[in-house]
Structure formats: structure tokens, C-alpha cells
Structure 1
Amino acid sequence: MIQLTLVSILWALSFGLTAQVADLGTPFVTAVRTVIAALVFLPFLDARGLGRRRVLAFAGIGALQFGLMYLLYIAAFRWLHSAEVALFTIFTPLFVTLVDGVLERRLRWRFLAAAILAVAGTALCVWTRLGRRGLLLGFLVMQGANLCFALGQVLYRRLAPATGKRDRDLMGLLYLGASVVAVALAAPSVPWASVAGLHLRQWAVLLYLGAVASGLGFFLFNAGARKTDIGTLAAFNNLKIPLAILASALVFHEAVDWMRLVIGGTVLALALGLNGAGGPP
């Protein structure tokens, strides 16, 4: 769980940073993030002995979990504020649990209960009255992103152990698959005038999002997913949100409803406790 906790901390800053570069266009930002992440892990790639089908399978997982997910996630900023994007990721634990249940052909109720508690706890932290135009469309786009992310991590968790490979041996394949999808969609619509006028701060944000939030972050998250059960994995999908609120208060000095944060964080902790105390599923 240490790896999942570390990546939650890394991702706590990413919502606000993504909003700062979202105006560069969804395909361009997605392509830059995935290509940078691929460059970080290509030196570690070791596909020897995998066979063509497994190579394509892991590239496909990356195209889904990172490429398509990021296209939908960044597109959501067209209709949503960064806090709302963060809010609408709270349903990912349910998708993780349901996808795993479908693939296993049985639904484990303790894991589902932990996922529902994780959603409830996170909602208590960040839920506000919402009613703007375009909100429903943004919500639906985010659920598409959540489903892609959930399906990718569950598939990786199922397929990776059988290869006998380390996570760093495989991540290059995932990022290559994501990069192919992202670059193919970005190429016809790259805003070259905007790219030429990028400030150093914007390049720094893109570098952080690609190398740290995407590259290191997804590596740690998928590595942690292999070492934990599906209920814990589902709950950890939402830990980044209360941490992001905490970072907003302590780092950026933004106003925070501390009571809601404490209550929501407690419910999220109960989700992890329920899963851990239940014994074998």
C-alpha cells in the first residue's frame, strides 16, 4: 500500500496543473504527457519472451488506461472546473470493483461495500451544489475516463503476474500503446502557434505531468495494484482527492472546509479498514 499512497500524494497536485495547460488542446496535452512518460520508461523495456500477443495486449492496455483515458479526462476541462473534474473521479472505485466482478464472474460484496464507502467518503470531502450548463456532459465524459482507467488497471493486475516480468520491464509497452493513440489523434490538430508561444512555466507543467504524474505515478500505481486486493485498490483510487484538498490548504493556502475533510477522510479510512478486516473474500 506504500506505493499506492505515494502515487496519491503525487497526483494531489495534478488537477490544478492540468487545468493550466488544458487550453492547449486535449489531443496535444495527452500526446505530450504520454510521449514523455514513454521516454522515461523505454530504457527499462524488456519484452523478451512475451510473444506478439502479450506485447499487443500490454500496448492495448496502455492505449486504454492512459491514452484514451487522458483524452477523455483532459477533454472534461472544457465543461468542468478542476475541482469538479476531481469530484467526478470518485466513481472510479465502483468501476474497478464492477469490472473485476465481471471478469471474475462473481461480485465480492465486501469489496463492493469498500468501494461504496470510498465514494461516500470522498463525496463528503468535496461535494458542492452543482447546476451549471454543460455539467452533465462533463460528468459523462469523466465517467468514460474513469471506466478506461478502471478497466486498464484491472487488466494489468490480471495479466502482469503471469509474465514473470518486473513492472518497470512492462511499463514502456503500456506507454508506447498510449503514445500511438494520443499522437495519431493529436497530429492533425496540433496548435503550432500556441506551442511556439509556450512559456517556460507551461513547459515545466507539461514535464511534471508527463514524467512525474504520468510516468512515475502510473508506474507506482500499477505496481501497487499487483500487490493488493481489488477492494483496497478500489479505495485507493480516491485517496488522491482528500490529499489534493489538503495540499490546496497547506501549499496554496486556499479555503478548506476542515470538518467535511475530516469526516470524509474518516469514512475513506473506514473503507480501507472494512476491506482489511474482512479476511479472505
Structure 2
Amino acid sequence: MSLLLIVSVLWALSFGLTAQVSGLGAPFVTAVRTLLAALVFLPFLNLKGMAPKRVAAFAAIGALQFGLMYLLYIASFRWLRASEVALFTIFTPLFVTLLGDLLERRSTGRVRLAVAVAVLGTGICVWPGLERTGLLCGFLLMQGANLCFALGQVLYRREAPATGRPDRELMGLLYLGAAALTMAVAAPWIQWHQVAALSLRQGAVLVYLGVVASGLGFFLFNAGARRTDLGTLAIFNNLKIPLAILASGLVFREAIDWPRLALGGVVIGFALALNGFSGGRP
């Protein structure tokens, strides 16, 4: 559980930082993040004795959990503020529990109730901005990203123990799958003169997002996911939200309606409690 807590702190600044480079385009930023993360763990990659089908399966999990997720996530910044992006990740733990229950053929009635309560809490937080153009599009992009991230977590948690390998030997394979997907998507859109014109600040932000937030962060998160139950994993998916919104308001000076956010947060917290009760079984 301590690993998941560390990651939540690491990710607190990533929403605001991602907003600062999202103008470079979701495909480019995603490709850089996943490629840097792959390079970090490439020295630890060990495929010896691993069946080709299993290699392909983990690469596919990485392409889903990191590659497609980031493409959708970064694209949402075109329509959403960083604090809104952070808030809309609220549904990830509900997806984690729902998908885990479906794969394990368990009852999901309480999860549906938790989803409804979380929708109410999110609505309280964003109701004044519902008339804003593009808000719905950004919201839907974020839910696609949440679903990809949740499914990747559940699949990795199910498949990794069977390999008998430590997480550091598997993460490079996941990142390579993500990098292959994102590089293929980004290649037709990359304008090299824009890449050459990157500022030092933009370069530093991309390195932090790729090496620390993505590389180290997802390694620790997936390692923690293997060592905890679904309910705890689901709840820790959302610990980053209050931290990220605080960072958006205090560090990046984004305008935030604190009373409304607090009220919505209380309702969302209740949804998390419901979700924890439904997903806390080992």
C-alpha cells in the first residue's frame, strides 16, 4: 500500500505539467512519455524463457494501459482544465472494481450504486461549467482513458504473478508495447521543426512526465497493484485527485470553486467508500 501512496504524491503535479505541454499534441507528448519510460526499464527487460504469446499479451496490456490511455488523456486537455481532468479520473476505481468483478464473476450491484453516487458528486463539482463548449467531449475522452487504465491494471494484476518474474523485468515490455502504439500514431503528425523548437522548460517537463510520472510512477503503481486487494487498489486510484486539484490551484494558480469542490468531494468520498466495500474482498 505504501507504493501506491508514493505514486499518488508523484502524480499530484503531473496534471498541471501535462497541461503546459498538451499544446504540442497528444500523439507527440504520448509518444515521448512512453518512449522515455521504455528506455528507463529496457536494461531490466528479461524475455528469456517467456512464451511468445505471453510476450505479446504483456505488450498489448501496455499498449492499452499506457499507450491508448495517454492518447485519450492528453487529448482531453484541449477541452478541460487540469483540475477537471484530475476530477474526471474519479471513475477509474469504479471501473477497476467493475472489471475485476466481471472477470471474477462476482456481484456488481453495489458498484453500480457507487457509480451513481460518483456521478452525482462529479456533477456537483462541474455543474456551473456544463454549458462550456467541449466539456462533454473532454469528459468522454477521460472516461475512455479511465477504462483503458483500469482494464490494464486488472489484466496485469491477473497475469503478472503467473510469470514468476519481478515487476522490473515486465515493465519494459509493457512500455515497449505502449511506445510502439503511440509512435505509430504520432509518426504522421510529428513536425520536426516544432520538435527542434522545444523550449528548455518544455523539454524538462517532458522528461519529468516520461521518466518520473510514467516510468517510475507506473512501475511502483503496478507493483503495488500486485500486492493489494481490488478495493484498496480502487481507492488509491483516486487519492491523486485531491492532491492534483490542490496542486492545480496552489501551484499552477488555476481558478477553483473550493466550496463546491469540497461538497462534491464529500459525495465522491462516499462513493469511494461504497466502492471499497464492494471491491475489498481478496
Place the TM-score, normalised by the shorter chain, in its bin.
Answer: 0.7 to 0.9
Moved more, 164-173 or 230-239: 230-239
Deviation at 1:214, TM superposition (A): 0.6
Q: Deviations over 1:8-27 (max 9, x none)?
A: 11111111111111111111
- Counterpart of 1:130 in structure 2: which amino acid? L
Deviation at 1:130, TM superposition (A): 2.2
Measured in 1, the distance between the counterparts of 2:116 and 2:49 equals: 40
Measured in 2, the distance between the counterparts of 1:108 and 1:41 equals: 36
Helix, strand or coil at the partner of 2:129: coil
Q: Contact 1:12–1:240 at 8 Å: present in 2 too? A: yes
Q: Deviations over 1:246-281 (max 9, x none)?
A: 334554566655556666666666667667788746
- Counterpart of 2:235 in structure 1: which amino acid? A
Q: Contact 2:31–2:179 at 8 Å: present in 1 too? A: yes
Which structure 2 residue ranges, 5 or more long, are not aligned?
none
TM-score (norm 1): 0.88
- Aligned partner of 1:44 in structure 2 is 44
Helix, strand or coil at the partner of 1:71: helix
Deviation at 1:107, TM superposition (A): 2.7
State how many pairs are aligned. Answer: 281
Deviation at 1:87, TM superposition (A): 2.3
- Aligned partner of 1:241 in structure 2 is 241
Measured in 2, the distance between the counterparts of 1:127 and 1:234 equals: 25
Measured in 2, the distance between the counterparts of 1:23 and 1:9 equals: 25
Moved more, 123-132 or 211-220: 123-132
C-alpha spacing 1:172/1:90, structure 2 compared with 1 (3 Å): same
Helix, strand or coil at the partner of 2:46: coil
For the aligned residue pairs, the C-alpha RMSD in angstroms reads: 2.7
C-alpha spacing 1:114/1:45, structure 2 compared with 1 (3 Å): farther
- Aligned partner of 1:138 in structure 2 is 138
**How do 1:10-49 and structure 2 match up within 5 A?**
10-49=10-49
**How do 1:252-263 and structure 2 match up within 5 A?**
252=252
| Residue 182 of structure 2 is aligned to residue 174 of structure 1 | no
Moved more, 251-260 or 126-135: 251-260
- Aligned partner of 2:184 in structure 1 is 184
Q: Contact 1:111–1:230 at 8 Å: present in 2 too? A: no
Which structure 1 residue ranges, 5 or more long, are not aligned?
none
- Aligned partner of 1:60 in structure 2 is 60
Segments of 4+ moved more than 4 angstroms: 108-128, 252-281
- Aligned partner of 2:89 in structure 1 is 89
TM-score (norm 2): 0.88
Deviation at 1:43, TM superposition (A): 0.8
Q: Contact 1:87–1:123 at 8 Å: present in 2 too? A: no
Q: Contact 2:231–2:277 at 8 Å: present in 1 too? A: no
- Counterpart of 1:94 in structure 2: which amino acid? L
Q: Contact 2:26–2:71 at 8 Å: present in 1 too? A: yes
C-alpha spacing 1:137/1:125, structure 2 compared with 1 (3 Å): closer
C-alpha spacing 1:156/1:81, structure 2 compared with 1 (3 Å): same
Helix, strand or coil at the partner of 2:187: helix
Q: Deviations over 1:34-93 (max 9, x none)?
A: 000000011111222221111111100000000111111111122222222222221112
Query: Percent identity over the alignment?
Result: 71
- Aligned partner of 2:218 in structure 1 is 218
Deviation at 1:220, TM superposition (A): 1.0
**How do 1:67-216 and structure 2 match up within 5 A?**
67-107=67-107, 128-216=128-216
Q: Contact 2:249–2:256 at 8 Å: present in 1 too? A: yes
C-alpha spacing 1:280/1:93, structure 2 compared with 1 (3 Å): closer
C-alpha spacing 1:36/1:129, structure 2 compared with 1 (3 Å): same
Moved more, 103-112 or 118-127: 118-127
- Counterpart of 1:165 in structure 2: which amino acid? R
Deviation at 1:98, TM superposition (A): 1.3
Measured in 1, the distance between the counterparts of 2:164 and 2:272 equals: 29
- Counterpart of 2:32 in structure 1: which amino acid? V
Moved more, 92-101 or 179-188: 92-101
Helix, strand or coil at the partner of 1:74: helix
- Counterpart of 2:170 in structure 1: which amino acid? L
Deviation at 1:175, TM superposition (A): 0.2
